[in-house]
Amino acid sequence: MLVPERVTCIVGARPNFMKVAPAHAALAARGLQVRLVHTGQHYDAKMSAVFFDDLGMPRPDAFLDVGSANHAVQTARVMERFDAELEAHPADLVLVAGDVNSTLATALVASKRGIAVGHIEAGLRSRDWTMPEEQNRILTDHCSDLLFTPSPDGDEHLLAEGIGAHRIHRVGNLMIDSLRKHQDRALQLPTLDRLGLQAGGYAVTTLHRPSNVDDPEQLAALVAALGEVAAQVPVIFPIHPRTRARIEQAGIALPSGLQLAQPLGYLEFLGLMAQCALMLTDSGGIQEETTALGVPCLTLRDNTERPVTVSEGSNTLLGSDPASIAPAATEILAGDGKRGRVPVGWDGHASQRLADVVCGGFVPLTERPPGT
């Protein structure tokens, strides 16, 4: 039985911060020694630093400064640097979140050192092995001792893949802990005034998936379709650096009404999301956040690893055909959008349930009889 005293929490890329902040705070409040390591996968102030302030998260104890590179090189860099970090600062448990390259890299290093791994947001599956995130989440799950799932489909996938029930803990959605904690503050910011928008009178879009932005033809068609929506309501587009670079490289002209903005901080984006008429996105996390807020969301992908946002929440999986965007948006803007309901366990207390599991102790994989 292991009752961890020293926990190292990992953040690396933008979608990690809002999942790790509540876990870090809950574990520290229980008296554990918690160390925060930032791999540096995201490094622009607007993709990283602003989140620490917005979420009230302490500065990282270590910054590995890996930066951008192709997938294998970035993963390898994180592994080398995190191995040295663990050598200098041993831990009983390494806590990782989500499905980015930093998640898999640090989980693997801990596993190779015989250190227990906890995975926040375990069990999600898109069934699309071409997505780097699908590779990362499946491989991370299989080397984790504690699998913290957000919804029942996560448990089902893990059990079907042969992972023992004793490793699976359905704690709910940690990202929604952050959302509930900061929602009121986000609504008080003057973001809408700054951007010249009226509550309920605009749409928001984000795009960054390789499948949407790496092919110039697909990207141009998506931008044109967003232009059709922008003919009806202003569409605000806080743009990921990789998408901006692709638009510039391809020389794509921006239709009027489509308003490009710098990537926003957590609070500003939350405020914008909570008051929009419609979200159009290929993000994973935004599908969940709009479900928690009851805001209609059109997901511009062919699959989702978050089906509960469609079956229960406010999400519609529209697919990646740009021609379907304007008709679906028009319907929602006419008032026919899905509002859905909030799934069980997305209640703002997931981090407390995670801390209960960690502090209650568990038998790590290294101490289990073979095959169990």
Residues labelled as active-site residues: 208
Binding residue for ligand UD1, selected from 101, 178, 191, 275, defined by CB under 6 A: 101
- Residue 118's SS3 state is strand
Q: Are strands 168-170 and 146-149 parallel, antiparallel or unpaired?
A: parallel
Residues 126-185 that bind ligand UD1 (CB under 6 A): 132-133
**305 lies in the site for ligand UD1, by CB under 6 A:** no
| Angle subtended by helix axes 350-360 and 174-188, to nearest 10 | 140
Which amino acid is located at 353 in the chain? R
In the complex, minimum distance from the CB of residue 139 to ligand UD1, in angstroms, rounded to a whole number: 12
- Residue 209's SS3 state is coil
* Residue with smaller CB distance to ligand UD1, 42 or 353: 42
**319 lies in the site for ligand UD1, by CB under 6 A:** no
**13 lies in the site for ligand UD1, by CB under 6 A:** yes
Cβ 32 vs Cβ 7: under 8 Å: yes
In the complex, minimum distance from the CB of residue 70 to ligand UD1, in angstroms, rounded to a whole number: 8
Q: To which residue do tokens 């209609």 refer? A: 296
Scanning 51-59, 235-243, 254-262, 357-365 for contacts with ligand UD1 by CB under 6 A, the matching segment is 235-243
Scanning 25-33, 42-50, 55-63, 85-93 for contacts with ligand UD1 by CB under 6 A, the matching segment is 42-50
Scanning 12-20, 183-191, 229-237, 327-335 for contacts with ligand UD1 by CB under 6 A, the matching segment is 12-20
Angle among Cα 341, 17, 142 to the nearest 5 degrees reads 80
Residues found in the chain: 372
CA atoms within 13 A on the CB side of 250: 19
Scanning 35-43, 231-239, 299-307, 335-343 for contacts with ligand UD1 by CB under 6 A, the matching segment is 35-43
Binding residue for ligand UD1, selected from 216, 241, 255, 345, defined by CB under 6 A: 241
Give CA–CA dist 168/324, Å, rounded.
38
Residues 45-84 that bind ligand UD1 (CB under 6 A): 47, 68
In the complex, minimum distance from the CB of residue 326 to ligand UD1, in angstroms, rounded to a whole number: 25
In the shown chain, the binding pattern of residues 183 to 212 toward ligand UD1, with x for contact by CB under 6 A and - for none, equals -------------------------x----
Give CA–CA dist 349/177, Å, rounded.
6
Residues 256-295 that bind ligand UD1 (CB under 6 A): none
Q: Are strands 62-63 and 93-97 parallel, antiparallel or unpaired?
A: unpaired
Alpha-helical segments (H) within 161-318: 174-188, 191-195, 210-213, 216-230, 241-250, 266-274, 285-293, 308-311
> Phi/psi at 365 (nearest 5 deg)?
-55, -35
Q: What residues line the site for ligand UD1 (CB under 6 A)? A: 13-15, 41-44, 47, 68, 99-101, 132-133, 208, 240-242
